[in-house]
Amino acid sequence: MQTLHVELGDRSYPIHIGADLLQNTKLLTAHIKSRQVCIVTNDTVAPLYLPAIQSALTEYDVSVVILPDGEAHKHWQTLNRIFDQLLADRHNRNTTLVALGGGVVGDMTGFAAASYQRSVNFIQIPTTLLSQVDSSVGGKTGINHPLGKNMIGAFHQPKAVLIDTLMLTSLPAREVSAGLAEVIKYGLLGDAEFLTWLTDHMDRLMALEHSDLAYAIARSCETKARIVAADEREGGMRALLNLGHTFGHAIETQMGYGTWLHGEAVGAGMAIAAELSQAMGWLSSRDVTQVRDILQRAALPVDAPDTMTVDQFIGHMQVDKKVLTGRMRFVLLRALGQAVITEDVPDAMLREVLANSIA
């Protein structure tokens, strides 16, 4: 087992990573402060992993909330079911919520913990690769509103994150690839050595080799934790984590949420960001080939959907919440492993790169 620490002063917390972690029930119980625990999960994950968590908590008064699976349920009505259960079972301020599931369950449980009785403790047990390397680290929690994704939420850090690589065995292959997109992102944005390691080990990651997964997850969490520690509330550096995301969100919106998985859209978005970085004179064509190659080996798309137009792309990018003050800001690559934020992309250059990606 490996343990990382997210350094945020009195809100610091450990991330434990390994295979079959919950054999050691202390990893979980060490962060529970009273007898009361509420496990929140969904109807896909519950049959797979809920019994193991429950048997680690036989000494506690455990409530369970099983939510319907899916992003479509990440709204206040579903969130309210968590509050209903907590109040019905008379959970007090010393209760601990446990999020057992992917990013949807993690974001909703975290937000419930942030707001129940003005904030209680919570522990993350992320079960998708994406949630293990991304959403469980950093303290962003929340739900969707009909007018915007993740528009209602709070910053609330967990007391601990338990990442069990064995839980990835049951994950659908497309979800594994989607998680790998975020893993590749960390290499591209700030860790050239890791990018080389990923190039050498992608096939083993795709085959879910546990020691390789644990290494890739640890390195990813380290990068995210470092960026979050430097910029907890997204004033500056945290924006680098949006590499590939402005283009990706345009694809997700255009195709209709759920048609392309988020990670798939980010994969194509990172390929576009690499091509735009080449047009800016920062990456070589060899660099771009390396980026496309690693994405393809993770079974991710590297081109925009051919049904999309350049104007649709730019239209979506202009309303993206990450675009400030009229000028479009991009996260691009100065070099592989070195992301930068720039507003200096000429419109004609952007249009040409997008047109090439669509073709």
What is the CB-side half-sphere exposure of residue 285 using CA atoms within 13 A? 0
Looking at 242, 252, 275, 329, which residue is catalytic?
242
Active site residue 140: yes
Active site residue 234: yes
Angstrom distance (rounded) from CA 180 to CA 185: 8
Shortest spacing between CB 283 and ligand NAD, in angstroms: 26
Angstrom distance (rounded) from CA 93 to CA 91: 7
Active site residue 245: yes
Active site residue 11: no
C-alpha 186, offset from chain centre: 11
Closer Cβ to ligand NAD, 228 or 279, answer by number: 228
Shortest spacing between CB 109 and ligand NAD, in angstroms: 11
Q: How far is CA 202 from CA 181, 209, 219, 286, 320, in A?
A: 11, 10, 14, 19, 31
Closer Cβ to ligand NAD, 279 or 300, answer by number: 300
Question: In this structure, what token pair is assigned to residue 134?
Answer: 């991304």
Query: For residues 122 and 86, is the Cβ–Cβ distance under 8 A?
Result: no
Active site residue 26: no
Closer Cβ to ligand NAD, 91 or 156, answer by number: 156
State yes or no: residue 44 binds ligand NAD (CB under 6 A).
Answer: yes
Active site residue 262: yes
State yes or no: residue 275 binds ligand NAD (CB under 6 A).
Answer: no
Query: For residues 39 and 245, is the Cβ–Cβ distance under 8 A?
Result: no
State yes or no: residue 322 binds ligand NAD (CB under 6 A).
Answer: no
Active site residue 242: yes
State yes or no: residue 133 binds ligand NAD (CB under 6 A).
Answer: no
Looking at 42, 91, 121, 140, which residue is catalytic?
140
Q: Which residue is nearest to ligand NAD (CB)?
A: 103
Query: For residues 214 and 165, is the Cβ–Cβ distance under 8 A?
Result: yes
Q: Which of 95, 133, 138, 252 binds ligand NAD (CB under 6 A)?
A: 138
Residues 140-159 that bind ligand NAD (CB under 6 A): 140, 150
Shortest spacing between CB 330 and ligand NAD, in angstroms: 20
Please, what's the b/e burial string for 205-244 (b: 16 or more CB within 10 A of its CB; e: otherwise)?
bbebebebbbbbbbbbbbbbbbbbbeebebeebbbbbbbb
Q: With H, G, I as helix, E, B as strand and everything else as coil, classify residue 75.
A: coil
Angstrom distance (rounded) from CA 16 to CA 13: 10
Active site residue 174: no
The interface mask with ligand NAD, positions 70-99, x = CB under 6 A, is -x--x-------------------------
For the chain, the helix, strand and coil percentages under 3-state DSSP, each to the nearest 5: 55, 20, 30
Angstrom distance (rounded) from CA 139 to CA 160: 11
State yes or no: residue 102 binds ligand NAD (CB under 6 A).
Answer: yes
Which helix (H) or strand (E) covers residue 332, if one does?
strand 330-335
State yes or no: residue 164 binds ligand NAD (CB under 6 A).
Answer: no
Query: For residues 67 and 50, is the Cβ–Cβ distance under 8 A?
Result: no
State yes or no: residue 101 binds ligand NAD (CB under 6 A).
Answer: yes
State yes or no: residue 269 binds ligand NAD (CB under 6 A).
Answer: no
Active site residue 91: no
Binding site residues, ligand NAD, CB under 6 A: 42, 44-45, 48, 69, 71, 74, 101-105, 107, 127-128, 130-131, 134-135, 138, 140, 150, 167, 170-171, 175
